[in-house]
Amino acid sequence: MASVKLTNVKKIYGKDTVAVQEFNLDIADKEFIVFVGPSGCGKSTTLRMIAGLEDISEGTVEIDGVVVNDLQPRDRNIAMVFQNYALYPHLTVFENMAFSLRLKNVPNEIVYEKVTKAAEILGITEYLTRKPRALSGDQRQRVAIGRAMVRDSKVFLMDEPLSNLDAKLRNQMRAEIILLRQKIDTTFIYVTHDQTEAMTLGDRIVIMKDGFIQQVGTPTEVFDMPLNLFVAEFIGAPKMNTFKTKLVCEGDKYYVNPYGAKIEVTGKKAEMLKGKRIGSREVILGVRPEHFVLSSSDNPEAIPCKIVVNEMMGSELHLHVVEDNGDKLIVRIPTVSLSDEQRASLVYGSTIYVTFEGKVMHFFDPETQANLLV
Ligand code: ADP
């Protein structure tokens, strides 16, 4: 068992730098939680308070129901993996991994058993006699993870562990962390600024901004129902398109009028607007790039725009377009959906007509930026 609970946690550096505040979170045993947000939002500070590497200014951190605010890091039963690996250069991979066990005078045969088992899980058995400098970046990170694994910790803390790796290795290690998680049954708290990492790794994601939690939810929840505009734009790549427009209520139907197009709100979104008795009003409308489709000039639901950039991503095109008013949008089109002629016509300067379905819209309050349907 290793649940972690943070209650009203606050961190103030020096006199008045408030790095984290009103942080409340219940992490269940064996849950994989990801803290995500832009640089400086307080992710690492929160992780370091859980680890005991940073004093907690206010509030409590509990591990398995025990308040650990005043416990030393070594007494918290946690293991931490950092971005910069922090390996000892003069020790072999084996001794790097064995280090914490040696400090505790663990008998040799148990050290051997634990290190070789972890090395096997991480696929680094053949490197055990090497020094860290003779390893590649991902191998070093495996050693750092192995060093944490041998400690049988109740909670595994990881601070941007993949950010020093190149893009390809990062994808590979991300998949391996998912496998690792299946093999070692423990609670994970993982910090990253990368929303893809957060979405793919987390059972639940904690999205932070300026020291405050913005939303806690499963990847599906934060993607489908972002609580505010910040979350909506932070989760998903390329980011959600947003534009100020009017939501019009006519009888029991709702329409939006982006750039002169008239598009009916349908499905669950229409039901929710009705349920909340929302009347005609100004909104910020959000539509994800993948929810746009190509249309034609005779469709009253279509928005005319000009292509400024066509990024060929392989399985899809990312079309950067400008609408007549100069607003920029990004539209993702699966390449398989296009004929050769269509593809050839999607070039810089050409006019295209795009639209989206009524069920994919998001509505935010222009003042508070809160999701109107939550
Ligand atoms: P993140 O991990 O999300 O990038 P951090 O937790 O590192 O953010 O930082 C949160 C805020 O606290 C930032 O404004 C940062 O400048 C500040 N901060 C972090 N560490 C210290 C420190 N040791 N002293 C003073 N301010 C700090």
State if residue 44 touches ligand 1 by the CB under 6 angstroms criterion: yes
State if residue 206 touches ligand 1 by the CB under 6 angstroms criterion: no
- The strand pair at 316-323 and 303-312 is best described as antiparallel
Question: In which band, very low, low, confident or very high, does the pLDDT at 153 lie, cut at 50, 70 and 90?
Answer: confident
How does pLDDT run across 218-234, given as a tens digit for each residue? Answer: 999 999 999 999 999 99
How does pLDDT run across 100-144, given as a tens digit for each residue? Answer: 999 999 999 999 999 999 999 888 999 999 999 999 888 998 898
pLDDT for res 201: 96
Question: In which band, very low, low, confident or very high, does the pLDDT at 25 lie, cut at 50, 70 and 90?
Answer: very high
Distance 210 CA to ligand 1 centre (A): 10
Ramachandran category for residue 330: left, alpha or beta (phi over 0 → left; psi -120 to 50 → alpha): beta
Distance 42 CA to ligand 1 centre (A): 6
The HSE-up count of residue 206 (CA atoms within 13 Å, CB side) is 25
Q: What is the 3-state secondary structure (H, E, C) of 62-84?
A: EECCEECCCCCHHHCCEEEECCC
d(CA 291, CA 289): 5
DSSP state of 91: S
| Percent of the chain with pLDDT strictly greater than 70 | 100
Q: Which residue from 361, 362, 353 is spatially nearest to 333, judged by alpha carbons? A: 353
pLDDT for res 259: 86
d(CA 315, CA 334): 6
Residue 28 has pLDDT above 90, yes or no: yes
- Please state the atom number of ligand 1 nearest to the C-alpha of residue 160: 2
- Please state the atom number of ligand 1 nearest to the C-alpha of residue 159: 2
CA dihedral 350, 353, 356, 358 (to 10 degrees): 160
Q: How many helices (H) and strands (E) does the chain have?
A: 10, 20
Domains contained in the chain, CATH given: 4-233 (3.40.50.300), 234-364 (2.40.50.140)
